[in-house]
Every structure is written in C-alpha cells, then in structure tokens.
Amino acid sequence: MDPWASFHLGPWSGLRRERLKDERFFLERHFPAEDRDLLFLGATELLSIEEDGTSPFEVWRGFLGDVAGWSYGILAFDLKNGLNDVSSRHSAPEGVPGLFWAVPRLVLERKGQDAFVHLPNGGPAALLEEARSLLGETLPPGRQSSLEWTLCTSREAYLARARELLAHIQRGDIYEVNYCIERRAKAIGWDPFLGWERLRSLAQAPHGAFLRIADHFVLCASPESFLRFDGDQVSAEPMKGTRPRHQEHELDARLACELRTDEKERSENVMTVDVMRNDLSRVARPGSVRVDELFAVRTHPGVHQLVSKVSATMGAGFGPVDVVRAAWPMASMTGAPKLRAMQLIDMAEDGRRGLFSGSIGWFAPDGTGDLNVVIRTLLHDAVTGTCSLSTGSALTALCDPEKEWEECQLKARSVIDALEA
C-alpha cells in the first residue's frame, strides 16, 4: 500500500497564511513557472544536525531510508566542513542547524486552479479538514516599517580582500571564486509573514521558499535551482552572470543582450558548468553527463541572469543523497578549483555563511525532488529580532572589484525593494 494518499480538495481559493502563525515547522515552495505551490506542514519525524556534526550526509541517507513519502528540509553551506579536508576558522552561527530534514503531517499542493492534499495513509481524518481550513482568501500584503541595514564588511575592506583574491587568480591558484558579504538589521516586531507576502508577490522568484524552523524564519527569493530529481534523472542549472533591469524596453533588451555576450560573464558561467559536470560525473552513469543549455538569459523582476543546464543519469547504486554530497557545496557559490576556492572564501569572508549558499528542498514519493540555491534570502531570528541578508559575486581574472561591489548591492536591493515596495 502507498504510504501516502492524495485527495482533490476542489478549486484553489488562496492560502490563509495567518493560520500558519502557530506552526513551529513548515515550508512553502513557490514555482511560478510551473503554476504550482507546495506547503509542507509540521514535523512528525525530524533530523537535526549541527554544521560540524559527524558524517551528516550518511546520517541523512539513513533518515531518508527509514521514511517513505514526502519530506523537506535544509542544508547549510558549511556542511562542506569535513568533506575534502575543508574546515572553517569561524564559529558556527546559532539557531538554524546545519542539516534539518522532516516528515510533514500533510502536504498541501496547488496545481493551476486546483487544490490537492497529500496525507499519510492511516492518518487521522481530521487532517483532511485541517487542509480544507487552510484554503481561503489570501489577505493582501500589508506594509510595515522599513529595516535599517548595516553592512558587516565595509566597501574598503571588500575591495582590499577582492584584490587579494584576484592576486591568487593571477598566480593560478584558482580561476574563479565566489566572494560574499552580509548585512544585518534590527527587526524587533517585524512580521515575517507580511514580509513573505510582499516578497513572494513582487519578486516572483522561480525557486522561492518560506520556511520556519522553531524561532527562525527564512524568506527566500532564489532564482537558482541546485538539483532536480525525477527517478534516476538529475539536472542542475548553475547561474553566473547578472545585469540590472531597466524600465525602458529597448534599454532592458540591450542589457539582456550584453549579458549574453559579455566575455567575463560567459567565462564565469562556463567555469561553473565545468565544475558541475565534474561533480555529477562522480555519481552518474558513464557518458550520461551532458550540457543541455548554455548561456541562457533568464529575466526576473529585478535582474537578468545567465543560466546553463547540466543533466545526467544517476549511476547504479547511487541515490539523491550521493548526488548532493558529490556536488556539495554547489559550484556557483564556491569557485574553481572548488577545494582551493572554499579555503580562500573562509579566509576572506567575515563569518560562516550558515544557510546562505546552502539549499532548501523536498522529496516526494514518486521519486521527484527539488533543491534550490539559497540566495536573495532574508534570515529572521524572532528571538533576537534580527535579520540577515547576504549577497555575493564571482571574481575572475577579467573582473573589476568596483563592479563586483556594485553587483552585491544590486542583488541586495532586489530583495529589499520587494520587501519595501
């Protein structure tokens, strides 16, 4: 018997997010291109591992092997520690674990104009009524006070460290490195539910997510997919290359064309693609790794992005956890060669990245699954009343540190403007 059962609830009438405020664990995933949403509610079983925990991927594999059906969770960037002799000089951030994965008590799904609920077979009948109670008119997003952001790394410090990283590139130590900076804000009384309503509606991020783990909220407007699974097929869409949008159509089209043809942006992108191809080849059927798309421009409300697509067939004896481990952390957020880039990232940046540069994802009973890249993301700690927002860019031999600084600000503004519009 299938461990989960699915029911059609009728037409989708909206999600009453105010009913989620008492939930300690949930994940909402938003897929505007597919006209689909998923809401994972509760945690009947859960796994929580600190960033420096022992063998997190092996423990995760064991957890997934014991559960049949829907599951969801997060993986923090610094799960890299312990892989390939990589460590961090910074202390682990408090609050959000390095790896959290849970089995929900129900999954609510929107497909177009239809609502469905997925429930564990044999579960209480009240779950069906609970799912119906979540449907209803969505309240229009309200306004709240703007947050006052403070950069954790000054412009002068950023430029100095960027030039140090460029010196490593010029010596041939690395070819590309992703360098990131963080900003923080006091947010006493700030409502993450209102924040998500605005971010979701205005950013229209193709891999957006709203997550709660106890007192920590994640508002993610990610435009990037890390890994997607469908049976033994796996695909990745590394993203490297950014241009701002423009209100005038002709100038906007010119910026998109400039992005597609820019030598520096294309070199960033192709190096990331090469790293991902190499990562997937370790767990793929020989000869199955292929580049399906190279240098495609994807346009979002705030920016144009340069995206490529790599796919493969998983080799015999390998599963999704093996693929994630082989590709962790993702090439677009590290550099090339990946090992040396990670070491230099830790030297240059002012703290661990935590969930930023990590992944939020889910798996379904039919063998499908999806993990995003956690970028364009606001992290909110409801206990301390603080918010964090990190952004970065790729440094290569062709880059100008001043322009890379501006790119970091552009990416941050795309989130802040959506929250404050």
Residues classed as catalytic: 224, 240
Q: Which residues contact 108 (CB under 8 A, 6 or more apart)?
A: 15, 38, 39, 41, 115, 116, 117, 131, 134
Which residue shows structure tokens 């674990």?
97
Contact call for residues 350 and 374 (beta carbons, < 8 A): no
- Strand-pair partners of 389: 183, 378
Q: What is the C-alpha to C-alpha distance for residues 374 and 380, in angstroms, rounded to an integer?
A: 14
CA-CA distances (angstroms) from residue 275 to 83, 176, 345, 369?
16, 11, 17, 22
CA-CA distances (angstroms) from residue 382 to 25, 96, 184, 186?
14, 12, 14, 11
DSSP notation for 62-112? HHHHH--S-EEEEE-GGGGTTSTT---SSPPPSSS-SEEEEE-SEEEEEET
Q: What is the C-alpha to C-alpha distance for residues 313 and 290, in angstroms, rounded to an integer?
A: 10
